[in-house]
A and B are shown apart, each in its own frame.
Chain A
Amino acid sequence: MAQIELESVTKEFPDGTTAVSSLDLAVGDGELLVLVGPSGCGKTTALRMVAGLEDVTSGTISIDGRPVNDVEPRHRDIAMVFQSYALYPHLSVYDNMAFSLKYRRAAKAEIRQRVAEAARILELEPYLQRKPRQLSGGQRQRVAMGRAIVRQPRAFLMDEPLSNLDAKLRVQMRAEIAQLQRSLGTTTIYVTHDQTEAMTLGTRVAVISGGVLQQVAAPQELYRRPANLFVAGFIGSPPMNLIDARLERGGAAGDDAGPVVVFGPHRLAIPPEVVAAHPAFERYLGEAIVLGIRPEHLHDAAIAGGPVIKLPVRLREELGSEVQVHGAIGTAAHVSADAADDLRSLATIVARMDPRTKIAEGETAEIAVDTAELQFFDPASGDSILA
């Protein structure tokens, strides 16, 4: 197994595009690190640099402490699973899986044994003599995994290996990959644009945007303590409600009441323990901030307690296990500078509620807010005030 380190790794293409900018990452031995971000954010480029398929413009990539910037991919002892699977169409499943071992001069008996073992794990035994085009998408994906497994490499690199599968198969294969990685214990870097995949698979998740690393953390940490507005908006479905607001001191001027967050006609007192844990609040008193509320932290006041805001309900969506309620907040939703203009009109927040809720479209609902879970961001830098 291996440790992989990226130190200030930058990739600039000849046309001047900076795909990856000063990326620092360390992947521990046996860890599954997921690189997640929107399309074109540089995550695949970063992975390809680790594989040796792209040159590094500046910075250093090390595997087990040894810089590999100038090492050919074949000498890095890593295996890669491609988005398109990259199975050799002229070879059978067996030959595809044995391909690398043959050229690494492994003994025939060993090749047979390793391919048989991988085929058993991946349930590919009935298909070993078939050509890739005779397989379904899921089977091809498993062959691509098998080709990586038989190598017993120091690390796996996976570039959106599930993106060509249908939703049901993707869920199944996701679980299989997670189990496989845990049982093999091989260091893995997994690239995806699907945040659900990232959250369910990763020991840690690295969020990238515009070639810049935004945050690396365990999935729960990433979800509960997003480092900035990008992570807050990217992780979570439906995404976190982001609202332009102000932090003000509660009560009359000069008294010692705690801060309140004000947006539109609404005022929410921030729990004293939150204020106490984050002295940075003081700096923002009287200033504009961006308030973040996860949809699941808004409840029907008839079912759950907490400070209440009143929202006119525009839409109620039944999802079976939950009800999503869209309410007008009476002020503009926060829109980042690079966001699309069509988001500017979304002056609504979404709440994920208990399916027993009776809140109906058209009524003004009383919504209880879990204020202990509120997030606060600096509107200028986008960074979390709670960090």
Chain B
Amino acid sequence: MSLTEAKTATAIRPAVRRRGRSGRAAHSRLSRRRRRAGILLSLPALALVVALIGIPVGQAVYYSMTQWNGITATWIGPSVYTALFKDPIFWRVVENNALLLLAVPFAIGIPLVIAALLNEHVRGWRFFRSVYFLPTAISWVVIGMFAQRFFAATGVLNNLLSHVGFGASATDMLAGEHSALVALAITFIWSMVGTNTIIFLTGMATLDPTLTEAARVDGLSRTQIFFRVTLPLLTRFIQFSFVITVISAFSALFSLIFVMTSGGPGFGTTTLEFFIYQAGFQQVQFGTAALYGVVLFVIMAIAGLVQLRLIKPDDGGGW
């Protein structure tokens, strides 16, 4: 570097530094202002969340440790949780919830098969789509009433069985503890068919049709294409369907249980959700109901975290 060049460079450097410093300062002022605006703009939403979710959850946690009849609440303390976990009826109810989770694979698998068939656009596929979607459009109460008549001793199921020569195996499914839970699970599966079928059909409609064409040319049979191309690309839709089905299994069966079995026989079909209703509105023990509510909330929070873990923004799935 010549002397003149060196002088010029020295003269330029402080100017660049000055510009750099003032530029950084301006940038940090701008980012501070943006941060402040962001906080201000999110405050109303935050206030709503706190008012509508935070405070009620806090109250529920507080009342769960009281004996509360709806008017006066007597503080008992955290020992209620210890007592609850020692209560065999509570565990029976949790077991019912766990057993109902066994219906989830069917509530996802059956709609998946139906969606795959409908997606072939066979003759009359629109009609069949409406038929499968019907349970979603019907109230849970109506579904429950229909299911009660279907599974009853003189119901449609037993009539069908006797018509095809299996009259001897006819039984009142709603009268037995285990069979009632099975009947409830079957009804639950049926009621989820519509929603999940539509979710999967939507997923299939988003897939690039050239992928299946490429697979056909690549040498795969239709079954192989479904399992090796379509299914992996539906991963996110299956995850979504899994999450809403699990949530429904925990918190959307009240109407079905109320209409079909009222939680019985015994505690055969009582779930945590129904347990809350029984404690609060049948036994007027709102503190106990809040206790069950908190437990259900914790379970659902865990399910939610699992969901967040499953549906990562960049897990390699493509849709």
Interface residues of A (CB under 8 A from B): 51-53, 72-74, 76, 78-80, 82-84, 86, 88-90, 99-100, 103-104, 131, 133, 147, 151
Contact = CB atoms under 8 A, between A and B. Distances in A.
A80 B211 CA distance: 11
Interface stretch (B29-37, B134-142, B157-165, B215-223): B215-223
Interface of B: 208, 210-211, 213-221, 224, 228-229, 232-233, 235, 316-318
Contacts of A147: 218
Contact of B208 (A74, A86, A100, A103): A86
A88 B221 CA distance: 16
A84 B214 CA distance: 11
Given A74-B221, A104-B219, A86 B214 contact: yes
Contact of A90 (B217, B218, B224, B317): B317
Nearest to B229: A88
A53 B218 CA distance: 12
A291 B52 CA distance: 81
Contacts of A80: 213-214, 217
A74 B229 CA distance: 15
B229 to A, nearest CB: 6
B213 A88 contact: no
B216 A53 contact: yes
A73 B233 contact: no
A104 B215 CA distance: 12
Nearest to B221: A74
Contact of B316 (A73, A131, A151): A131
A366 to B, nearest CB: 55
A88 B318 CA distance: 9
Contacts, number: 65
Contacts of A79: 217-218
A83 B228 CA distance: 22
A367 B217 CA distance: 55
Nearest to B211: A86
B219 A74 contact: yes
B219 A53 contact: no
A90 B210 contact: no
Contact of B219 (A51, A88, A103): A103
A139 to B, nearest CB: 17
B213 A82 contact: yes
Contacts of B224: 103
A131 B318 CA distance: 10
A78 B217 contact: yes
B318 A100 contact: no
A163 to B, nearest CB: 13
A95 to B, nearest CB: 10
Contacts of B228: 103
B217 A74 contact: yes
B217 to A, nearest CB: 5
A51 B218 contact: no
B220 A74 contact: yes
Given A76-B217, A78-B217, A82-B214, 20 more contacts: A53-B213, A53-B217, A72-B216, A73-B216, A74-B216, A74-B217, A80-B213, A82-B210, A86-B210, A86-B213, A86-B214, A88-B215, A89-B317, A89-B318, A90-B233, A90-B317, A103-B218, A104-B219, A131-B316, A131-B318
Contacts of B317: 89-90
A257 B211 CA distance: 66
Contacts of B221: 74
Contacts of B229: 88
B218 A99 contact: yes
Residue with the greatest number of chain A CB neighbours at <10 A, chosen from B208, B233, B235: B208
Nearest to B216: A73
A88 B317 CA distance: 10
B318 A51 contact: no
A103 B220 contact: yes
Nearest to A105: B219
Nearest to B214: A86
Nearest to B212: A86
A182 B197 CA distance: 49
Contacts of A151: 218
Residue with the greatest number of chain B CB neighbours at <10 A, chosen from A72, A86, A104: A86
B216 A84 contact: no
B287 to A, nearest CB: 50
A90 B232 contact: yes
A80 B219 CA distance: 11
